[in-house]
């Protein structure tokens, strides 16, 4: 597909979207996290533990792809680790939770409110944020993905035990979420001081894991508290929830987030349900399409997303449903950006398009 040249840089494009103005085209924001390490030729362990290496990786990825949002991130257990959870680091692999610090007795005394300058991988992320901001802030927003309190609490207790507590000991779960919220605020403050834009990620708040009732009772209030805190900085907030979210679409505007990043849910349904109140971000499959498809399949998938979201009143950001795997073919990421540029602006016209009469055409400037 032929693409058109950009008229704006990424920062200008995203700023217009957040001001409810139409940018030159749909922003292209595939969730490039550890894949940046593959671009720069380092392994995942170095990426997660060396802030300078992480920053250089994201600069290299931006220089190669020209995407519209940097996505600095290590693992969901990042805040939990800084509070006392033990992670297993294996060379060349993302760290995984090895030992949650909260046992069946619910004793929270072993947990600490972390010092972002000292504990866990927080210092590395802050160093990477400062590195990227100092070099690219005039061109592209520096997003920093931060685990929301519900997911952090689940990893502090251990997911299975935490799910049991939600039913059998709900006050214990509530207390743990409250402590996780308290521990997250100093880190997001530090991220902002380094020039980063915190993006909240809450994968374990998905309807793939908990019921809509549990989401509304336990995850939503913690999201609201952090988003309200971020609004004190007069910034728009993006919330990402992995997996399925159909059951909580009606609750998502209550989070206060201005952008909702979606995963395994039908894009048109999201736009219809919340598109007049939230900017929708999504949702090309990161595994089946981005990692496993061909460049042509990637282009077609991203263009279809743009066609589907063409009439979202608050606007749309073309993205992936979750973070890209480390080994995603680089030609597929280029195809994603190429597809967005080929689709152009995101309002429909009456002309036919290559997918036939069933999909609205998107005007190419």
In which domain, by residue range, is 97 found?
A: 10-362
**Residue 1 domain-assigned?**
no
- Mean pLDDT, residues 311-318: 92
**Residue 77 domain-assigned?**
yes
CB–CB of 95/77 below 8 Å? yes
Give the number of C-alpha atoms closer than 13 A to the C-alpha of residue 209, restricted to the C-beta side: 20
Q: List pLDDT tens digits, range 243-299.
A: 999 999 999 999 999 999 999 999 999 999 999 999 999 999 999 999 999 999 999
**Residue 237 domain-assigned?**
yes
Q: List pLDDT tens digits, range 193-205.
A: 999 999 999 999 9
Residue 334 belongs to a domain with what CATH number? Answer: 3.20.20.210
**Residue 5 domain-assigned?**
no
Q: State what percent of residues in the chain have pLDDT above 70.
A: 93
**Residue 3 domain-assigned?**
no
Q: What is the pTM of this model?
A: 0.92
Q: From start to end of 122-231, where are the E strands? A: 142-147, 197-201
Residue 2 — very low, low, confident or very high, per pLDDT cuts 50/70/90? low
**Residue 132 domain-assigned?**
yes
Q: What is the pLDDT of residue 71?
A: 98
Number of domains in the chain: 1
Residue 52 — very low, low, confident or very high, per pLDDT cuts 50/70/90? very high
- Mean pLDDT, residues 115-119: 97
**Residue 301 domain-assigned?**
yes
Residue 198 pairs with which residues in a beta bridge?
144
**Residue 2 domain-assigned?**
no
Instruction: Copy the structure tokens of residue 282.
Output: 């999504």
Rounded Cα–Cα distance for residues 102 and 108 (Å): 6
Least confident of 46-50, 83-87, 101-105: 101-105
Q: What is the pLDDT of residue 91?
A: 87
């Amino acid at each position: 597909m032929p693409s058109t040249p950009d008229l704006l840089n990424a920062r200008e494009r995203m700023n217009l979207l957040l001001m409810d103005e139409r940018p030159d085209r749909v922003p292209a924001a595939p969730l490039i996290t550890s894949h940046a390490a593959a671009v720069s030729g380092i392994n995942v362990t170095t990426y997660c533990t060396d802030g300078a290496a992480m920053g250089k990786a994201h600069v290299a990825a931006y220089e190669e792809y020209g995407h519209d949002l940097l996505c600095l991130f290590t693992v969901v257990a990042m805040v939990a680790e800084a509070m006392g959870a033990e992670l297993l680091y294996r060379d060349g692999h993302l760290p995984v939770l090895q030992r949650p610090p909260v046992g069946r007795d619910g004793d929270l005394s072993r947990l600490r409110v972390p010092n972002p300058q000292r504990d866990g991988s927080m210092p590395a992320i802050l160093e990477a944020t400062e590195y990227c901001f100092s070099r690219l802030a005039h061109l592209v927003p520096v997003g920093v993905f931060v685990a929301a309190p519900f997911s952090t609490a689940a990893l502090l207790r251990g997911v299975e035990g935490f799910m049991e507590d939600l039913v059998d000991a709900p006050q214990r779960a509530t207390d743990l979420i409250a402590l996780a919220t308290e521990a997250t605020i100093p880190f997001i403050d530090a991220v902002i001081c380094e020039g980063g834009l915190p993006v909240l990620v809450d994968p374990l708040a998905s309807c793939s894991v908990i019921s809509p009732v549990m989401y509304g009772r336990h995850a939503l209030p913690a999201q609201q508290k952090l988003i309200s805190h971020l609004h004190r900085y007069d910034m728009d907030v993006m919330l990402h929830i992995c997996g399925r979210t159909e059951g909580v679409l009606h609750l998502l505007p209550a989070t206060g987030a201005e952008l909702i990043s979606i995963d395994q849910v039908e894009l048109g349904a999201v736009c219809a349900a919340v598109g007049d109140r939230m900017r929708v971000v999504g949702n090309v499959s990161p595994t089946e399409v981005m990692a496993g498809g061909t460049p042509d399949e990637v282009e077609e998938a991203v263009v279809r997303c743009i066609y589907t979201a063409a009439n979202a009143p608050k606007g749309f950001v073309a993205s992936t449903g979750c973070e890209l795997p480390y080994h995603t073919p680089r030609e597929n990421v280029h195809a994603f950006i190429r597809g967005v540029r080929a689709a152009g602006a995101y309002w429909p016209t009456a002309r036919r398009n290559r997918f036939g009469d069933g999909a609205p055409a998107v005007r190419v400037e």
